[in-house]
Amino acid sequence: MNNNLGNKESFQALDWVIEDAERGFFFVLASHKMQERIAKVYTTNDIAKLNYSDSVQYSDLRPYDKKNIEHYNPRVLEKFANEHADKQIFFVLNFQIPFSSIEDFLSLNDSKADIVSKNKIWVFFMTTELENRLYLSASDFHTHCNLKLEFEDFGIDETKSGLLDFSDKVFTLQQINEIEERLAHYKEEEKEFLPYFETTSEGMQLIRNGVSDNQLLAITGTLATMAELYDKIGDCENAIKAYEKVLVAREKILGLQHIDTAISYNNIGLIYENAGNYDKALEYHNKALEIQKQIVGLQHPDTTKSYNYIGVIYYKTGDYNKALKYFCSALEIRKKILGMQHIDTAESYNYIGTVYNNISDYSKALKYLCTALEIREESLGIQYRETTVSYNNIGTVYSNIGDYSKALTYLGTALKIREKILGTQHPDTAYSCNDIGDVYKKLGNYNKALEYYNKALTINEIVLGKEHPRTKNILENIEVCLQK
């Protein structure tokens, strides 16, 4: 067997399924392309292959309701099994396609017993996204899975999970290079998507070209990941272009009143925010908020996210009254529907405390920031990145009011935790060193200030580079101390 070295263990596990398993459900998690590649490797006569992306095969199998081919119909698998009764192993490819409604998942649950009764080996090929949805919406079917095999798409698909490892705000030079390398893979794949979109005088248009709606929506998932990657490296122009394609497809296929459409509006709003175009950012976030109000209502976590996005825009533009209005609206909803001990509730307290710090209402700032810290310590623990943010924010407030002893206590705690969980060569660690340096500078202890500024400088030059704004800011702080 010629196996891709990057997926050696997954291929070995699939070999075991085919050669030694007697019956049961097995999930292969891979992109559409990777599913096709894996299936081509296995040519044994004992395997029957059903591919939901093969419209001819799928249409021939479907005994009823051929016009409605994008919903799960248990008769398809039943007919497929009956027609290949002499086979022991069934490969079901692109199983993510026929699931566009909750009814499809319920139908899958109901048909589980019939599939089990065939006493065959069923290998369901699907994307990771579908497997997550099966866990939530078709638990009976999902729990019958004997083994999940995850395949990397030659350096592409692992990006979606890998994105979680990247900071939302600051990236090291190594991370930026890694993202750009992954984007190079995606750009090759993007060329295949070009026939489905056209830019006209009226804007971006969706061109179906005979492709099913679910396949087009699967394409938007890849485009959304590309957009996120572009955003991570600060390429706002290409990020917006990719997200616009996603939005156009979702508006056309799902409609304006759909939660995924609202997510697209918010995503574009976030890119405009990063680009400094706050008017455009507000325009898109407000569109998302209106959709969410109509679909899920005010008392919903998605709605609170839009409130926060809008609040951040007003915070950045210096309109602190409006920022507080939106942050407080999100907080009240979150307390009601999520409770006081939820990390999203802590986020709202943190936002509000930060605003009060900026308008010099330090007593209220400490009240809200300390509440955020209490929730994060209780819900996440002290060895967690968000908890260190709270320690750092509280330390900054104490520095602002001149209580330098408490400032150093909180900032020092943040630094100690960051060094432990993030390491000594991380931008957050440098951030803490810089803030401690600021306190010592206020105290007039310039030697101690220089000690921490130089630590921050060394880290940032390594991980961010000499031209990064944070690096330049530290150099300015060092220059001030040297002059003193």
Domains and CATH numbers, the chain: 5-150 (3.40.50.300), 388-484 (1.25.40.10)
42 pLDDT tier (thresholds 50, 70, 90): confident
By three-state DSSP, how is residue 306 classified? helix
Task: Give tens-digit pLDDT for 372-417.
Answer: 999 999 988 888 889 999 999 999 999 999 999 999 999 999 999 9
pLDDT at site 55: 63
Query: What are the structure tokens assigned to 388, written together?
Result: 């260190």
Phi-psi category of residue 443: left, alpha or beta, with phi > 0 → left and psi -120 to 50 → alpha: alpha
Quick check: 155 pLDDT over 50?
Answer: no
- Could you tell me which of 335, 371, 330, 338 has the C-alpha nearest to residue 353? 371
pLDDT at site 221: 78
pLDDT at site 173: 61
Of 167-181, 227-241, 254-268, 271-285, which gets the smallest average pLDDT?
167-181
52 pLDDT tier (thresholds 50, 70, 90): confident
pTM of the model: 0.63
Query: What are the structure tokens assigned to 254, written together?
Result: 């799902």
Rounded Cα distance between 139 and 332, Å, is 33
Quick check: 272 pLDDT over 90?
Answer: yes
By three-state DSSP, how is residue 436 classified? helix
Quick check: 289 pLDDT over 90?
Answer: yes
For residues 87-108, give the mean pLDDT.
Answer: 87
Residues ≥6 apart with Cβ < 8 Å to 196: 206, 207, 208, 209, 211, 216, 219, 249
CB atoms within 10 A of CB 178: 19
pLDDT at site 297: 87
Query: What are the structure tokens assigned to 223, written together?
Result: 């485009």
2 pLDDT tier (thresholds 50, 70, 90): very low
Quick check: 266 pLDDT over 80?
Answer: yes
Query: What are the structure tokens assigned to 171, written together?
Result: 């990236």
By three-state DSSP, how is residue 55 classified? helix
For residues 208-234, give the mean pLDDT.
Answer: 79
Of 174-178, 188-192, 440-444, which gets the smallest average pLDDT?
174-178
pLDDT at site 178: 65
Rounded Cα distance between 36 and 31, Å, is 9
Q: Are strands 203-206 and 197-200 parallel, antiparallel or unpaired?
A: antiparallel
171 pLDDT tier (thresholds 50, 70, 90): low
198 pLDDT tier (thresholds 50, 70, 90): confident
pLDDT at site 166: 43
pLDDT at site 422: 85
pLDDT at site 174: 59
14 pLDDT tier (thresholds 50, 70, 90): very high
Residues 346 and 389: beta-carbon distance below 8 Å: no
pLDDT at site 175: 63
Rounded Cα distance between 292 and 378, Å, is 30
Looking at residue 211, what DSSP letter applies? -
Residues 84 and 46: beta-carbon distance below 8 Å: no
Mean pLDDT of the chain: 86
172 pLDDT tier (thresholds 50, 70, 90): low
Of 152-166, 174-188, 321-335, which gets the smallest average pLDDT?
152-166
Quick check: 348 pLDDT over 90?
Answer: yes
Task: Give tens-digit pLDDT for 408-467.
Answer: 999 999 999 999 988 888 888 999 999 999 999 999 999 999 999 999 999 988 888 888
Rounded Cα distance between 260 and 205, Å, is 18
Looking at residue 196, what DSSP letter applies? G
* Residue 25: strand pairing partners: 122, 145
Query: What are the structure tokens assigned to 380, written together?
Result: 């996440």
**Cα Dmax for the chain:** 87
- Could you tell me which of 169, 159, 275 has the C-alpha nearest to residue 223? 159
